[in-house]
Amino acid sequence: MTLIINNDDVARVLTMEMTIDALEESYLALAAGEAVCRPRIDLRIPTSDPTRNYQWGTMEGGSTNGYFAIRMKSDIIYEERKGDVVTQEKYCTKPGLFCGLILLTSVENGEPLAFLNDGHLQHMRVGADGGIGVKYMAQENAEVLGILGSGGMARTHMQSITHVRNIRKLQVFSPTKANREAFAAEVRARYNIEVQICDAPEQVYRGAQIVAALTDSAVPVLDGACLEKGTHIVNIGGSGVPDQKSIERVDVYLRFGDTPAPIGHPEFPVDAEYIGYEARPGAMKFGDGRHGKKAHGVMLPDKRVTLADLVSGRVKGRTSDDQITWSERGNLQGAQFYAVAGRVYEAVKKAGIGREIPTEWFLQDIRN
């Protein structure tokens, strides 16, 4: 039987510790040649509304541990201005609904094992990446965390960062006062730590050893001029990169790794986080390829270290408490979903939850 696993099922079984362990194992398997993935690929098509476009996005990967997965997203993408902030918005069928699915299969016999909603897993895997970066690059005694943002990514990053560091204080800012106050109240209750609600973004940086920009902004929100010595930065949103001043101040850059070049084509290595194809390529598009902007690849090659380098001891990451460090995943999204979805599938089966449907519905006797 094939399982249908919804977000409630995922939330019931998936812990942050499990997510971090699965992703680290996957990234190291990729570096060892035991796993494979490709970059995310998006197809963008104009709709009848020139301010919105359709976007189909996929990423996939698998390993010799027995699992393969493809994650699929079907979105209408547009941008919205809220004061001085431009955000990227999306929906499927109507605002407030989304279509993101993961198909998990067996590499042993090809069997479709499960279809999973990707919502909760998506937030957990991105939060876990932030935690992995903090684990390897932040000051060992880091205890003050600054967060720009108060949504779902802020919540999962609180889980991951408190898992790898003894955080005693959170400093948080987001543009909507009610949202940052609600998030602050949740953090106080859940983690029993001091929380400072900031009235301006620059207050987040003061005394913070870790600063995380966790927003849906379509443009960078970090301010490198405000970074203090020794800060480790995490950046989600803003087209995937911090502001230029932050990049200029980074001393050590942890990029977990890169997808391998296709077999037989070593001339085609790709370090971009996504590759986009468009109908009517001259028309304005929204999404991660907004306004024709190319996806970034390796940003600071002369300052870069990889996760495999750090774990093996071939190189060191932070060598001084004064260094400013930055961590990001790289274009390994495809290596995430088989790893985490595989753990979820096993836990769901053990718990006896999820909904079974006949695997035969997906099989046929005509050779494809």
Per-residue confidence of the chain (368 residues) as pLDDT tens digits? Answer: 999 999 999 999 999 999 999 999 999 999 999 999 999 999 999 999 999 999 999 999 999 999 999 999 999 999 888 777 777 899 999 999 999 999 999 999 999 999 999 999 999 999 999 999 999 999 999 999 999 999 999 999 999 999 999 999 999 999 999 999 999 999 999 999 999 999 999 999 999 999 999 987 767 889 999 999 999 999 987 556 888 999 999 999 999 999 988 888 888 878 888 889 999 998 888 876 655 555 677 788 899 999 999 999 999 999 999 999 999 999 999 999 999 999 999 999 999 999 999 999 999 999 98
pTM for the structure as a whole: 0.92
Dihedral over alpha carbons 276, 282, 286, 288 (to 10 degrees): 30
Give the count of alpha carbons within 13 A of 356, CB side only: 6
Q: What's the pLDDT at 271?
A: 83
Q: What local confidence, expressed as pLDDT, does residue 238 receive? A: 59
Chain-centroid distance of CA 78 in Å reads 20
* 149 conformational bin, left if phi > 0, alpha if psi -120 to 50, beta if neither: left
3-state secondary structure (DSSP) of residue 303: helix
Per-residue model confidence (pLDDT) at position 291: 56
Question: How confident is the model at residue 288, as a pLDDT?
Answer: 66
- Which H or E run contains 38? none
Q: Which two tokens stand for residue 299?
A: 């940003």
- Quick one: pLDDT at residue 274? 82
Q: Residue 240 has what pLDDT?
A: 66
**In this predicted structure, what is the pLDDT of residue 84?**
73
Given a contact cutoff of 8 angstroms between Cβ atoms, the answer to whether 104 and 114 are in contact is: yes
